[in-house]
Structure 1
């Protein structure tokens, strides 16, 4: 009986002891142990060199720690650069406005706002340079408001804290984290399989349609929408994963360009699946034949990719795709196909070509010219976060100036640091509440630590172990999707509130004042981010849609020699799609969000069709006719038919463009 119960508990179907949960538990445990070791090393060095505020090194460890060593290295480098720049600015504005309080406050608010805006625009951990610039200014100035002449020494002390924390964390993680390419390859493989499964589900759902289906417009099944969202999430996560892995893994760095191109192609495949394709023509014999054949092809490719050693010998999969492309070319040559059916055949052919390119890029069977994609700058969100940074800084400084509260600078430090950190997350408004809750929860933990634990500590080892114990919830939950922001706020601000100094001084009044300042700062943070300047995700989505439309219209009006490469254009638009999907995920009207995302995907498909149409025009007459058609259809919004082409490829492309334009509406 005991054996049966044990087997049930440890079976893959068990809730607590499934293989995925156990693997996640081990990874989180390893990360937590490394962070605690880093805290111990940073704290030891801080006491040895006799820093005034050793807990600042602990704060740095908590902020820069990351399971991926490459991410940690990138984060640390940009953190040090931001600290140097912020410390320099702090000394400069203190020197310029030392005798003019309000000019100092205005200058501080403008710099914090600019830092928040820049952090929202920059990608990955480059944003941390802007974040650190913003709140290093107030941290350096914090101890210098009463004695401005000490601001330079305060800046040097802050820089020492950050460098010790960064170096300690890097040493521990580099010494204990193996550099392996396998996790990256597994993530790429997993995303590729998800793309293939989604494509197979799409074509399989079309083969299940009834011949009597006479719907005006068929939407996708709900399961396909959910699948699309999950696949997009996986693909979006691949870009930072590759960037971070390439920072410290030479093998990934050598293949980075190829892997990025594969990710771009995966996103392009997903973008091609939208309701407009499934509505191209009504179900009939040819309709079923096209989609049934595609379903079988995708199943064969999926079976090949599931083989763990497929990367070593992808020739069999490539051969199957080549045979599929050849079969479609024979199918396409038949005269009985309608323009709509021919357009579907072209879509499937493009799908198989894209899959072939993905496999070639993942296995590097063919060298391609590296593709450069310009980052998409989301100005509405950046300007909003910049305005929030300015407003919250001015409010905090005004409260301190009016009340003359001795701990006003602590409130200022909290709101500026929290605002800067929130500027890097997708929805700063939503995260502000979690950050505030995590911060407030750190207050009772700090009280317990200072009243019942800290007076009993008589040596370094006990101090390290006790700090690690109290920081454990924040460290452990930092990479849990639901609690990450709150856990981060708890860990960072517990470390800030723990007044462990070199030469301990117990001051309950100062501690209580610090708690009150943190609570007031948390309330102010939520008010500014959720009430005074709330988010407007729908407006942000409209801006992205307008940008997509402008990009498509430019393809129709640009001269031939200024047309971008298809993959480069697609990469630019995929960034917009991922941002749009993120904005729409915050809307309560899920049906409307799906409809808007369908139209966005259709716009990307439309742009690819326009590029293909212009490239397939073989002579001056065809090129001129295509330009006239695009001018009429896209710019003037006129429904004009062009049937005088002898080129069937152009005719089917025009048919498909006309169909998408007919069903595409403004959001």
Structure 2
């Protein structure tokens, strides 16, 4: 027994530590805490006499998240959205109720505007706009039949929701809390390790392996930014500082295209002769060794030595380089120095994430001194398209309601408005609506069993909690898992309302049946209308992102959008947006991610060259200005990419390089570097057939 028990305990521990078992345990804990919060909110609502306490239960399941910080932030956003939506409803319905068509148009317009703002925000804060929209839908349309009670309805709804928010926040924050900070720092540490591996593989010019790493880094940066939004609300005492996280992001964002540039140079120098090829090779080997060693004692000192070596090679090759390969070697040495500095900065910053003092600036860091942070891609035209589609869907539902004089039409339209706002933030909302419908079917069946079989025999609150536990605990565990979250919402949002969890048992079968019919009609109509008016084909979405990226390259070539860090972060966000759409498009757009990163590099170099134009005079200035103007015309005009275009760009860069021989040494070296960067970014290095300009698909 003494030998068997420790072995059994160890086996049980290993079993529970498996990722699948840990996920199950987290889901069960989340479900239990959410159910406890829901019952607490229900009890409090009953005690203070609120007429529809089931809204407090619904709120708990909408607000609850797997981490304490996310639950609090979501609760804050929900309260703000609910409060604003209630005010808007009180302002709209009484003033326009005598003209139903105008009232419906104004309500639909408000809901569409809220959806538009949520799509432009693209942060977790967008949830406040979503709530402002569908709170108006939930209160406004049913209140059209009783406009005199709209203020009381809105006031009570805000109270019920506030109780649900408060109970959810208290339980998730103080009962076995799961802090966001630990999850965030763990993912950040893993991402920094992936970034070092990305840099290491770049030194071998293995582009196929690094393509996947760059794609993953773009997605991780977007995911990490979403998590970081919840950190100020987290329960952990020591949280990463916002400025530090922004500085880390800026360096990782620059590292992503930089590794692609280094790959191109290493691949080029493998087939060409360089005067100091042995010295460069030794430097590359030593940099790879420094990257591979995890946190040595003299890590920062070794990084400084490697940077000095790289700058020394760059200075020796740069001024007197007569062969193109030597210039590429000097350019590569400069990029290696920059990459080492970025990686070393990330290590320094990650070690001081929770430091109380200010982050050390340029004296200690090699990257940009001022933090910029993540930049979201925002497309007002696509947001307006989705908002207009939602308005058309809601107005279509209102037209059917008015034409048919359906008594429960207001309830159906209110549910339709919720669907249009809740699912309107994705290109193809119908699959999510279908999952919600499936969950609602289970929710209706369970509700009918509760309403007419179980609840009539319940005599006190403790028994009620016991009989509700199986359904809510099961649905809560499903809600904790991403694949079944929307189906679970169909269960948890349907049972409290349809079961009649009010102040007393009613058991009205006709009312329950009418509510179920209104629910399925509304959700079914939402699926049909959203497939017509709010669905964006994947081809349209991909080509829209590519078009905007090409347009912005042209703007930078002409001197617009001069902020380098902002440009880099914006293009990385667009890359992260492209990836799930490319998976949906399968193999039709195999090279789009590479094209987008190439556009990032072209825009980066074009913007820096444009800044150099005022420092030049005469023929060189006119030539660079003409090259940038031609680049802008090519990308903004969607001109087709042909071998002749590549050859023309290559020849113009060659002529510019010859002109720079007569410029001042300081300007000459910098422009040499930028012209080499531009040549590689355009795909015009070597022969024209080696690369291709990004094109519209």
**Inter-partner Cα distance in structure 2 for 1:153 and 1:226:** 56
Cross-structure match for 1:609: 605
Alignment of 1:365-380 (within 5 A): 366-367=360-361, 368-371=369-372, 375-380=376-381
Alignment of 1:387-398 (within 5 A): 387-398=388-399
Cross-structure match for 1:572: 570
**Inter-partner Cα distance in structure 2 for 1:385 and 1:649:** 46
Contact 1:585 1:593 in 2 (8 A): no
Contact 1:271 1:601 in 2 (8 A): yes
Cross-structure match for 1:360: 348
Contact 1:436 1:525 in 2 (8 A): no
Alignment of 1:132-171 (within 5 A): 132-141=131-140, 143-171=142-170
Cross-structure match for 2:124: 125
Alignment of 1:447-462 (within 5 A): 447-462=448-463
Alignment of 1:2-151 (within 5 A): 17-141=16-140, 143-151=142-150
**Inter-partner Cα distance in structure 2 for 1:347 and 1:386:** 45
**Inter-partner Cα distance in structure 2 for 1:128 and 1:178:** 22
**Inter-partner Cα distance in structure 1 for 2:94 and 2:57:** 30
Cross-structure match for 1:301: 291
**Inter-partner Cα distance in structure 1 for 2:483 and 2:564:** 38
Cross-structure match for 1:183: 183
**Inter-partner Cα distance in structure 2 for 1:252 and 1:612:** 39
Are 1:664 and 2:693 matched, yes or no?
A: yes
Shift of 1:165: 0.7
Contact 1:274 1:598 in 2 (8 A): no
- Are residues 80 and 4 of structure 1, via their aligned partners in 2, closer, same or farther at CA, if it must alter by over 3 Å? closer
Contact 1:79 1:129 in 2 (8 A): yes
Contact 2:554 2:632 in 1 (8 A): yes
- Are residues 481 and 171 of structure 1, via their aligned partners in 2, closer, same or farther at CA, if it must alter by over 3 Å? closer
Shift of 1:141: 3.3
**Inter-partner Cα distance in structure 2 for 1:295 and 1:24:** 41
Shift of 1:249: 5.5
Cross-structure match for 2:501: 500
Cross-structure match for 2:657: 643
Shift of 1:595: 0.8
Shift of 1:613: 4.3
Q: What is the TM-score when the length of structure 2 is the normalising length?
A: 0.83
- Are residues 110 and 481 of structure 1, via their aligned partners in 2, closer, same or farther at CA, if it must alter by over 3 Å? same
Find the residue that maps to 1:643 and give its secondary structure.
Answer: helix
Deviating more after overlay: 472-481 vs 503-512: 472-481
Gap regions ≥5 residues in structure 1: 207-219, 306-313
Gap regions ≥5 residues in structure 2: 353-358, 362-368, 635-644, 662-667, 685-691
Cross-structure match for 1:210: none
What is the number of residues matched between the two proteins?
Answer: 637
Deviating more after overlay: 164-173 vs 492-501: 492-501
Contact 2:70 2:180 in 1 (8 A): no
Shift of 1:607: 2.5
Cross-structure match for 1:541: 542
**Inter-partner Cα distance in structure 1 for 2:338 and 2:48:** 63
- Are residues 577 and 264 of structure 1, via their aligned partners in 2, closer, same or farther at CA, if it must alter by over 3 Å? farther
Shift of 1:614: 5.4
Alignment of 1:178-577 (within 5 A): 181-204=181-204, 206=206, 220-221=207-208, 223-248=209-234, 255-274=241-260, 277-278=263-264, 281=268, 283-284=270-271, 294=284, 297-298=287-288, 300-305=290-295, 316-332=298-314, 333-334=316-317, 335=321, 337-364=325-352, 366-367=360-361, 368-371=369-372, 375-425=376-426, 427-558=428-559, 564-577=562-575
Q: What is the TM-score when the length of structure 1 is the normalising length?
A: 0.86
Shift of 1:38: 0.9
Shift of 1:105: 1.8
Q: Can you list the C-alpha shifts for 1:381-407, whole angstroms capped at 9, x where unaligned?
A: 312321232122122222222333332
- Are residues 549 and 581 of structure 1, via their aligned partners in 2, closer, same or farther at CA, if it must alter by over 3 Å? same
- Are residues 227 and 572 of structure 1, via their aligned partners in 2, closer, same or farther at CA, if it must alter by over 3 Å? closer
Shift of 1:195: 1.9
